[in-house]
Structure 1
Amino acid sequence: MAEILTITLNPTVDLSTSVPEVVAGPKLRCSMPEADPGGGGINVSRAIKFLGGDSTAFIATGGETGARLLRLLAREGVRFTAFAVTGDTRQSIAVTDAATGAQYRFVMPGPTWTTEAVSDALHAIDRAAPDGGIVVLSGSQPPGVPVDFTSRLSHNLDAHGVRLFVDTSGAPLHELVANPANPFVLRMDDVEAEDIAGRKLPTRADTADYASELVARGVARTVIIARGSDGSTLATSDGRWHASRAIDPAEVVSAVGAGDSFVGAFTMALARGDDMHQALCFGTAAASATVTTKGTRLCDPKDVARLLDGCKLVEI
């Protein structure tokens, strides 16, 4: 089984709570908050752990919040290597309005990185990357990290035969599309895809066409575009497929972590030797399982197994 290293440049301690009703003005009395280690790569490693796999999480941390984050990870048994940065690791909070079920998510920016820290991180990741393994870069970039960080990382890892899986957004995603670095996998959601494409992608065929366009341009060897509750579309130079798993809308509790669970399951499947079709279905089942959990919790393996049986894979 190939080794997996996940990278989280901007981790967070995720707090989740609820109030009877979200209104402006008065003090809102919250329920007892739950704290979880968070950030894209961390959640990918957590999902892999929950599903019975193994990975190492490379985490940039600082301050008291960073120390708390590492304690939370240790409690869950996730193996990690910490990269020290100046400034406190951020916190984020998800608040559920009990009256409506609506969830409000507040995300902090994180500490600002120096040019030296960026260079040091690239060297540290290069040393930590498993030869012939998989590296997952997931989540937002903290202030100060240049938009071409992904491209620089991709070029570094190519020399080691490492497969790079990128799940990013905003300016770094735009940069990667504008100046392709051809990582092994690039994932985005439908809103991000429409923003970059400059047009709506209402159907699976529209999504597949755009994903294929990105592959043809060398943006990535595999492009995955999540279509929310409709599942995910994958394109390579060999073809395009869509995986979906319908769940009862009444089961949907929170969308937090669904994308990270997809990435974790998909990566775990590839690492153990599954083909792209199997990995796409496993990822889709994990994402579907995650939306049925509360707050910042991720997928339960029993739910993933149940949902995997009903995954529908179609060629587009």
Structure 2
Amino acid sequence: MKKSILTITLNPSVDKSTSVQNIVPEKKLRCNAPKYEAGGGGINVSRALKRLGIPSNVLFTSGGKTGDMLELLLKQEGLDIIPIHISSETRENFIVVDQTTNQQYRFGFPGASFTSSEQDEILTIIDQLYPAPDFVVISGSLPGDISAEFIGFLIKKYKTKGSRVVVDTSGDALRAALEEGVFLLKPNAGELAALVGKEELENTDLDHAAQQIIAQGQAAIVVVSLGAQGAVLYTATEKIRMIPPLVKIRSTVGAGDSMVAGMVSVLAGQGTPEEILRMGIACGSATTMAEGTALFQKKDVDRLYAEVRKH
């Protein structure tokens, strides 16, 4: 029986990307035609799952003309969307590649705020969704004026319904998720260090911090992403580290979200921890091969999956 998946994005965006020859100040730059794509943590997870042939429901806030564009973009990709309309305008992100150096410049705008009544509406809609999904992915940032405790409310609701919650966020929202406890947590090394009050962690400290989270019942699985050095998966009884294959990196936009999608795809199929990590790294690496804000191609994931190796 196929497992149902819901992704939640509280700070979605429309990503506008372009390229230009030689970025310099004080000069009018003639950019190439822009490309528009739906963005935001959970939204990218659902877009990536779609490329893996796995359906999901996409719950997100949507406001103004940018929100209308976001909904249209997602419908064009054939996703099952659950927009929650708010009075504020959905944000945009702007990405520019300098063709001379191949360097990428990423500009992120503040997220759309939503009122306390709109927060209540989000919780009400979540309560009304039936049946409860098997997996809930809460991914991405929070708008600046939304309390991190709101993440905790969402997690608690779904845990009560019997859903397994996967979280990929940072800062206070990550702490709130830990306090409530989740099924799978995906911090990077810097985020994990911040959780334990340090600037950075050595390998042994990394192990201790992740294993402590599991021992305290705050997560059943912790996956620490290490960028080009791969990732480490921890459970109560296992530690698995894997290294990604060498690829030509064109953009890192969406790589972390693609990694989450890869892992969730295997979780939903009841795969092993090694398969979970291998697929996550393959999807993340394949997305770095794509230009601008594009996600991976399935054929690249299939090829890279076999090339991911144990450390």
TM-score class, shorter-chain normalisation, is over 0.9
- Structure 2 partner of 1:218: 217
Counterpart AA for 1:115: S
Q: Name the structure 1 match of 2:99.
A: 98
What is the CA distance between 1:130 and its match in structure 2?
4.3
Question: TM-score normalized by structure 2?
Answer: 0.95
Partner of 2:264: 267
DSSP-derived class of the 1:241 partner: strand
The one-letter code sitting in structure 2 at the alignment partner of 1:65 is: T
Question: Matched residues in 2 for 1:130 and 1:190: separation?
Answer: 36
Tell me how far apart the structure 2 counterparts of residues 304 and 87 of structure 1 sit (CA, whole Å).
Answer: 37
- From 272, 284, 289, give the equivalent of 1:287: 284
Map 1:300-315 → 2, pairs under 5 A: 300-314=297-311
Deviation at 1:313, TM superposition (A): 3.2
Q: Does 1:41 align with 2:38?
A: no
Measured after TM superposition, the shift of residue 202 of structure 1 is 4.2
CA deviation digits over 1:114-167, x for unaligned, max 9? 112112212212333643510000011113321112211121111211000011
2:172 counterpart letter in structure 1: A
What are the within-5 Å matches in structure 2 for residues 185-196 of structure 1? 185-196=184-195
Q: Which amino acid aligns with 1:254?
A: S
> CA–CA distance in 2 between the matches of 1:277 and 1:152?
31
What RMSD over aligned residues (CA atoms) do the two structures have, in Å?
1.6
Query: Residue 51 of structure 1: CA displacement?
Result: 1.2
In structure 2, the gaps of 5 or more residues are none
Per-residue displacement from partner, 1:31-90 (whole Å, max 9, x unpaired)? 111110110011000000011111110011011110111111111111111111111111
Is 193-202 or 46-55 further displaced after alignment? 193-202
C-alpha deviation, 1:219, in angstroms: 2.6
CA distance in 1 between counterparts of 2:18 and 2:218 reads 39
- Give the structure 1 partner of residue 123 of structure 2: 122
Shift of residue 91 of structure 1? 0.6
Tell me the CA shift for residue 225 of structure 1: 1.1
8 Å contact from structure 1 (residues 208, 234) kept in 2? no
Q: Partners of 1:21 and 1:196 in 2: how far apart? A: 40
Count of aligned positions: 309
CA distance in 2, matches of 1:174, 1:256: 24
> Residue 297 of structure 1 aligns to a residue in which SS?
coil
Give the whole-Å Cα distance in 1 for the aligned partners of 2:141 and 2:133. 25
2:189 and 2:200 in contact (8 A); partners too: no
User: How far apart in 1 are the matches of 2:207 and 2:295?
Assistant: 27
Identify if the C-alpha distance between structure 1 residues 87 and 262 changes in structure 2 by more than 3 Å, giving closer, same or farther: same
Q: Would you say the 8 A contact 1:245–1:285 is kept in 2?
A: yes
Q: Distance in 1 between matches of 2:211 and 2:130?
A: 29
Written as runs of structure 1 = structure 2, the 5 A alignment for 1:203-214 is 203=203, 205-214=204-213
5+ residue gaps, structure 1, are none
Q: State the alpha-carbon separation in 2 of the partners of residues 90 and 199 from structure 1.
A: 31
Amino acid in structure 2 at the alignment position of 1:207: L
Q: What does the per-residue CA deviation read over 1:77-115, in whole Å, with 9 as the maximum and x for residues that have no partner?
A: 111111111111111011111222211111111221111
Write the letter of the residue equivalent to 1:26: K
Instruction: Give 1:174 deviation, angstroms.
Output: 3.3
Cα distance in 2 for residues equivalent to 1:130 and 1:263 = 23
State the shift of 1:192 in Å: 1.7
Question: What letter matches 1:226 in structure 2?
Answer: S
Write the mapping of 1:19-38 to structure 2, written as runs, cut at 5 A.
19-38=20-39
Aligned to 1:86: 87
Which stretch has the larger CA shift, 258-267 or 112-121?
Answer: 112-121
Contact 2:5 2:133 in 1 (8 A): no
CA deviations 1:278-297 (Å, max 9, x no partner) are 11111110001000100011
Tell me the percent identity. 37
How many angstroms apart in 2 are the aligned matches of 1:129 and 1:265?
25
The one-letter amino acid paired with 2:69 is R
Cα gap change, 1:97/1:194 in structure 2, threshold over 3 Å: closer, same or farther? farther
TM superposition shift of 1:200: 2.0
1:193 CA displacement: 2.0
Change (3 A) 1:183 1:83: same
Inter-CA distance 288–57: structure 2 relative to 1 (3 Å threshold): same
Q: What's 2:200 paired with?
A: 200
Is 2:228 aligned against 1:244?
no
Between the aligned partners of 2:22 and 2:193, the Cα distance in structure 1 is 33
TM-score w.r.t. length of structure 1: 0.93
- SS of residue paired to 1:255: coil
Q: 1:206 and 1:181, CA in 2 relative to 1: closer, same or farther beyond 3 A?
A: same
Partner of 2:173: 172
Question: 1:55 and 1:155, CA in 2 relative to 1: closer, same or farther beyond 3 A?
Answer: same
